[in-house]
Structure 1
Amino acid sequence: MQQLVFIIVYCICFMSACQITISGGKDSLDVVKGYERLESKVDTLIAKLDRSLQIPNVKDLKKHHSVIKNVALKKRTQQSSWYAKTRTLLNNICCATDYANDGNPNTFSHTDYENLPYWWVDLGHVYDIKRIEIINRIQGSNGDRLHDVDITVGRSLKEMSLCAHYKGPGKTGEHLVFRCNRQMSGRYVKVTIKGKEYLQLGEVMVFAPEISE
């Protein structure tokens, strides 16, 4: 800090072309006044420097560095159809739509065998999507049913854009991680099979910066 003060003093003196002389009478008084003005300028510059170097507090850091979390967990969902229209199949692990985002990868959603089966989640707010993760159905040997999948993101279900495509086929219990081909924001995330198939999802997770309510 002493070196910094010296540099500041030097700069002020240089810019002001100040001269320090030792003499008596009026000249001595001028030197004292010059010192006082110089000291005032130095104090002002040091105060400005301290403010510019001030470390932000924890609240400020939280505003700019939000926690990334799964914002799809237990949010409102819907699928194109509901296989067997039951929650109790296979010892209560199939087949309701909310089984795909209940936080338990052992349960899974399940549609009928149909053309373009889909599942979507309403995140409740518009988020900056960082990544989307899908856990394929864990039980059984039908993991290969997950193929030719479009993952879309949008602010409404009428304005969805492609985030990523998965050719597949998947494997039972496989954990897939997708990052959108560009920065995307949205309230809805939709998973669709482009063809005729069952859509079975063990868990769909959407990771984004948390929004303060």
Structure 2
Amino acid sequence: MQQVVFIIAVCVCFVSACQITISGGKFNSDVCKGYGRLESKVDILTDKLDRSLHLLKKINEQVKDCRHKTSLIRNVALRKGSQQSSWYGNTRSWGNYICCATEYANDGNATTTSATNLDNMPYWWVDLGHVYDIKRVEIINRSDGYGHRLHDVDITIGRTLNELSLCAHYKGPGKTGQHLVFHCNHQMSGRYVKVAIKGKEYLQLSEVMVFAPETSG
């Protein structure tokens, strides 16, 4: 009978980790105390592991967010279809200059230049092919002289050429080879980006870059 009581006492001890005294003899409580200390250490280690896993999860989310913000934004205007108000000289080279076709403004080569005639309100626009959430527009001014011709510029964005809204205005005048960066006054989406001068002037652009996430609408 005492053996049965002893076995039951051992089971209860390991469940409750309590000090137990049995009628007819004392049960050794050191086993329960040892179990209690071990259980406490396990709890501490489990808590540390949970905190470490939570920290690793946050770090992983931050890395993914950084990758999304940096690697997916690109120049969506590169080598896309474009038009300008006129084509100076109807030529692709002028003396030592590679000028003046409309596609020279978004061919990825800043040594080439698009150029219009001396127009009233000259313009250049690009069809991005899809609607994008535009992050910024960058312009590299003509690199072979006459940089002052870039002035009073409106940069507009829209889903069609008939519904363009102002992104930014540049008073100028520009400098030869100048790299200009424009952030819209508010979040804008569009398929078309247009660069136009308000007044009578030549519009000469070495490069127009439109930066947006790769995903499109």
Question: What TM-score does the superposition give when structure 2 sets the normalisation length?
Answer: 0.70
Distance in 1 (alpha carbons) for counterparts of 2:91 and 2:113: 12
Aligned-partner residue type, residue 210 of structure 1: E
Distance in 1 (alpha carbons) for counterparts of 2:196 and 2:65: 40
Residues 30-179 of structure 1: pairs in structure 2 closer than 5 A? 55-56=60-61, 62=67, 66-91=71-96, 93-140=98-145, 142-179=146-183
Partner of 1:206: 210
Q: Against the structure 1 CA distance between its residues 159 and 52, is the aligned structure 2 distance closer, same or farther, given a 3 Å change threshold? A: farther
Aligned residues: 192
Distance in 2 (alpha carbons) for counterparts of 1:126 and 1:86: 32
> Could you tell me the percent identity over the aligned residues?
66
Distance in 1 (alpha carbons) for counterparts of 2:140 and 2:101: 16
Cα deviations by residue, 1:59-95 (Å, 9 ceiling, x for unpaired): 7875576532222111111111111111122346100
Partner of 1:32: none
Check if 1:184 corresponds to 2:207.
Answer: no
How far 1:47 moved relative to its partner? Answer: 10
SS in 2 for 1:90: coil
Supply the RMSD in Å over aligned alpha carbons.
3.6
SS in 1 for 2:107: coil
Partner of 1:30: none
Distance in 2 (alpha carbons) for counterparts of 1:121 and 1:96: 13
Distance in 1 (alpha carbons) for counterparts of 2:157 and 2:74: 17
Aligned-partner residue type, residue 160 of structure 1: L
Check the 8 A contact 1:79/1:97 in 2, yes or no.
Answer: yes
Check the 8 A contact 1:66/1:210 in 2, yes or no.
Answer: no
Q: Against the structure 1 CA distance between its residues 70 and 52, is the aligned structure 2 distance closer, same or farther, given a 3 Å change threshold? A: same
Aligned-partner residue type, residue 164 of structure 1: A
How far 1:206 moved relative to its partner? Answer: 1.2
Q: Against the structure 1 CA distance between its residues 129 and 57, is the aligned structure 2 distance closer, same or farther, given a 3 Å change threshold? A: closer
Check the 8 A contact 1:100/1:107 in 2, yes or no.
Answer: yes
Distance in 1 (alpha carbons) for counterparts of 2:111 and 2:121: 24
Q: Against the structure 1 CA distance between its residues 170 and 60, is the aligned structure 2 distance closer, same or farther, given a 3 Å change threshold? A: closer
- Identify unmatched segments of 5+ residues in structure 1: 1-18, 26-44
Question: What TM-score does the superposition give when structure 1 sets the normalisation length?
Answer: 0.71
